[in-house]
Amino acid sequence: RNMPVVTGEGLIGKVVEVGENRSVVALLSSGTFRVGFSVVGTAAIGIAQGTGSDGSLRGSNIDSRQAVTVGAIAATSGLAGSPFPPNLPIGTITAVRTNEAALESTVDISMFANLNDLVYADVVLWKPAG
């Protein structure tokens, strides 16, 4: 339970229910799904939440002093207490909005994995430290 689920392209969700012959996976695109992420090659971190539509996430709580650009790669941050290990690919930053007054940026992320074309997925056997 709570273990990451991935395809060859990247993170797609986490196991939320385990049965004898099946598991239920909460998809990353779900409006209730949240994951800590980092922007590869920068010190920027934030929280990504599904938008409820396939393949789209919204990232928030990013320090606007960090240089985040369209085309950058988002991956799991793996910060303490996270149910996800670091550096699982999530997607590409497709838009950046900055609120200078709040010193915060938000981003749109397009998932690497195509949720409409899943054949196989893997569960990452991961136990967070702590």
- pLDDT value of residue 121: 94
CATH of the domain at 9: 2.40.10.350
Average pLDDT over the chain reads 93
| Secondary-structure percent of the chain, ordered helix, strand, coil, rounded to 5 | 5, 45, 50
Task: Please tell me the total count of domains within the chain.
Answer: 1
128 occurs within a structural domain? no
pLDDT, tens digit, for every residue of 68-79?
Answer: 999 999 999 998
What residues make up the domain containing 80? 4-123
d(CA 91, CA 72): 9
In a domain, 129, yes or no: no
Distance (Å, rounded) from C-alpha 75 to C-alpha 4? Answer: 13
Rounded Cα–Cα distance for residues 44 and 34 (Å): 17
Query: Per the domain annotation, does 61 fall within a domain?
Result: yes
pTM: 0.92
Q: With contact defined as beta carbons under 8 Å apart, do 81 and 25 qualify?
A: no
Q: Which residues contact 8 (CB under 8 A, 6 or more apart)?
A: none
Split at pLDDT 50, 70, 90, the class of 81 is confident
Residue 115 falls inside a structural domain: yes
Instruction: Please report which confidence band the pLDDT of residue 130 belongs to, taking 50, 70 and 90 as the band edges.
Output: low
* Among 86, 75, 85, residue whose Cα is nearest residue 48: 75
Q: pLDDT confidence of 6, banded at 50, 70, 90? A: very high
CB 44 within 8 Å of CB 94: no
